[in-house]
A and B are shown apart, each in its own frame.
Chain A
């Protein structure tokens, strides 16, 4: 088995258009959730979200590209450029033939769907743009990354709702660990913040109208975000041989299925994923200093997740830190695990733990150290990143400080 390290990271989300901007916001405990701004927003009951603002797509992409890139693809490419630039890798020859891109995504090109449904149903038009299909397909982002960077190895998109990115990164990790490829581009992206996207979520009545307050007794639901997180996973010796900067080591992972309910979370399913990731990484539970929680801010998730952490970690649950950065960037659905991995990297690399902001009142059912409202300096050897999706599909990654 090979060791796997992260040698590049890129992101765009409501906290920043780059990784350094995102991490600065997490350190400051800044909130990226604002009033949503898009067509027909006045017809929504939920009008807040972690929307990416100030993003000028036409400055980053040319006209031909824009005709083919939905917003989720644009976000992916912005993040991939940053990650691959940081890694210093160039893909040619044997490396290009073996390296691929595995990304998580849930909704595909929702903005493209929304705009074109509006055009044919509401405006009664009978003709749509020729690129609607290649623009909205879930694998469009992975394909465009492969084309821009000449990645010719295994490439595909994983769709497991809110766990998509973690499942995707687990695949990439496994491919590098087994020696199938020396490097993979992985992570995920999502852009559901359009009228139809938010309206669909509104129907489920789990969204908050006023803010995301994970683990706080007065929490009243989730808030959506959008964006992308992309990483370069590289075989350790390959990275070391070329003197690459190593951000963190991916130590292990586990996946589980609740096989129980299409929306309600399960304590057992979550526990099996966390315990499984530690077992896979060969890490004793006492070494875990930080958990980036799934922490959606719904009544059901936060108490189930807290109970699950207590079960898996026993007495150590009271000494570890757990925070939900969704309080700042919102729930990025298929991209959320990728953006949240940044908080885990910051914990093990910089010794800074991102806070759970919006924390007003302790909830006895979530009695853990949730790093309320302010970031904390603390040395962290191992961090876990939790993702528990609708459909009961769970994936947890374990990061360790760079070797």
Chain B
């Protein structure tokens, strides 16, 4: 399974939606995921890929990790997974 599909699956599970309803331009807001849900999703993503995501709930917009859309999250995770391999 591609990184993108796995991330979407995790986000969909958190949002209690079908993965087909989570599009790349969805935002966490539009999916109804609050700050606690975000922290939980990041934990699930870290577990799934065995990576560490640089995210602090106190400065979500200033963290090195972009969470502005599903596409941004997928891109960030792809990079972390890539870095992990190298």
A interface, CB within 8 angstroms of B: 203-206, 208, 219-221, 262-264, 298-300
CB < 8 Å: which of A206, A219, A262 contacts B57? Answer: A206
Is B58 in contact with A262, judged by CB distance below 8 angstroms?
Answer: no
* Interchain CA distance A205-B43 in the complex, whole Å: 10
Residues of A contacting B68 with CB < 8 Å?
none
CB < 8 Å: which of B36, B39, B55, B59 contacts A299? Answer: B59
CB < 8 Å: which of A219, A220, A221, A263 contacts B36? Answer: A263
Is B39 in contact with A204, judged by CB distance below 8 angstroms?
Answer: yes
CB < 8 Å: which of B36, B39, B58 contacts A298? Answer: B58
Residue contacts A-B, CB under 8 angstroms, 29 given: A203-B43, A204-B39, A204-B57, A205-B39, A205-B42, A205-B55, A205-B56, A206-B56, A206-B57, A206-B58, A208-B56, A208-B58, A219-B58, A220-B56, A220-B58, A220-B59, A221-B56, A221-B57, A221-B58, A262-B36, A264-B35, A264-B36, A298-B57, A298-B58, A299-B57, A299-B58, A299-B59, A300-B35, A300-B58
B interface, CB within 8 angstroms of A: 35-36, 39, 42-43, 55-59
- Quote the shortest CB–CB distance from B3 to chain A (angstroms): 22
The 8 closest A-B pairs by CB, nearest first: A299-B58, A205-B57, A221-B58, A220-B58, A206-B57, A205-B39, A298-B58, A220-B59
- Quote the shortest CB–CB distance from B85 to chain A (angstroms): 22
Select from chain B the residue with minimum beta-carbon distance to A206.
B57
* Interchain CA distance A221-B29 in the complex, whole Å: 23
Known pairs A203-B43, A264-B36, A298-B57; list 5 more (Cβ under 8 Å).
A204-B39, A205-B56, A205-B57, A220-B56, A300-B35
* Interchain CA distance A353-B36 in the complex, whole Å: 36
Select from chain A the residue with minimum beta-carbon distance to B36.
A263
Residues of B contacting A208 with CB < 8 Å?
56, 58
Q: Is the interface of A mostly helix, strand, loop or mixed?
A: loop
* Interchain CA distance A206-B56 in the complex, whole Å: 6
- Quote the shortest CB–CB distance from A146 to chain B (angstroms): 39
Select from chain B the residue with minimum beta-carbon distance to A299.
B58
Residues of B contacting A220 with CB < 8 Å?
56, 58-59
**Which has the most chain A C-beta neighbours within 10 Å: B35, B58, B59?**
B58
Residues of A contacting B55 with CB < 8 Å?
205
- Quote the shortest CB–CB distance from B18 to chain A (angstroms): 27
Residues of B contacting A204 with CB < 8 Å?
39, 57
* Interchain CA distance A204-B39 in the complex, whole Å: 7
Select from chain B the residue with minimum beta-carbon distance to A302.
B58
* Interchain CA distance A365-B52 in the complex, whole Å: 31
* Interchain CA distance A205-B36 in the complex, whole Å: 10
- Quote the shortest CB–CB distance from B60 to chain A (angstroms): 8
Residues of A contacting B42 with CB < 8 Å?
205
* Interchain CA distance A300-B56 in the complex, whole Å: 12
- Quote the shortest CB–CB distance from A357 to chain B (angstroms): 18
* Interchain CA distance A290-B55 in the complex, whole Å: 35
Residues of A contacting B56 with CB < 8 Å?
205-206, 208, 220-221
Select from chain A the residue with minimum beta-carbon distance to B61.
A299
- Quote the shortest CB–CB distance from A169 to chain B (angstroms): 29
Residues of A contacting B43 with CB < 8 Å?
203
- Quote the shortest CB–CB distance from B71 to chain A (angstroms): 22
* Interchain CA distance A204-B43 in the complex, whole Å: 9
* Interchain CA distance A264-B37 in the complex, whole Å: 12
* Interchain CA distance A208-B56 in the complex, whole Å: 8
Select from chain B the residue with minimum beta-carbon distance to A222.
B58
- Quote the shortest CB–CB distance from B66 to chain A (angstroms): 16
- Quote the shortest CB–CB distance from B47 to chain A (angstroms): 12
* Interchain CA distance A208-B58 in the complex, whole Å: 9
- Quote the shortest CB–CB distance from A295 to chain B (angstroms): 14
* Interchain CA distance A221-B59 in the complex, whole Å: 9
* Interchain CA distance A26-B56 in the complex, whole Å: 29
* Interchain CA distance A203-B55 in the complex, whole Å: 11
Residues of A contacting B35 with CB < 8 Å?
264, 300
Residues of A contacting B36 with CB < 8 Å?
262-264
* Interchain CA distance A307-B58 in the complex, whole Å: 18
Select from chain A the residue with minimum beta-carbon distance to B62.
A220
Residues of B contacting A300 with CB < 8 Å?
35, 58
- Quote the shortest CB–CB distance from B36 to chain A (angstroms): 6
Residues of B contacting A299 with CB < 8 Å?
57-59
- Quote the shortest CB–CB distance from B84 to chain A (angstroms): 17
Residues of B contacting A219 with CB < 8 Å?
58
- Quote the shortest CB–CB distance from A391 to chain B (angstroms): 13
Residues of B contacting A221 with CB < 8 Å?
56-58
Select from chain B the residue with minimum beta-carbon distance to A263.
B36
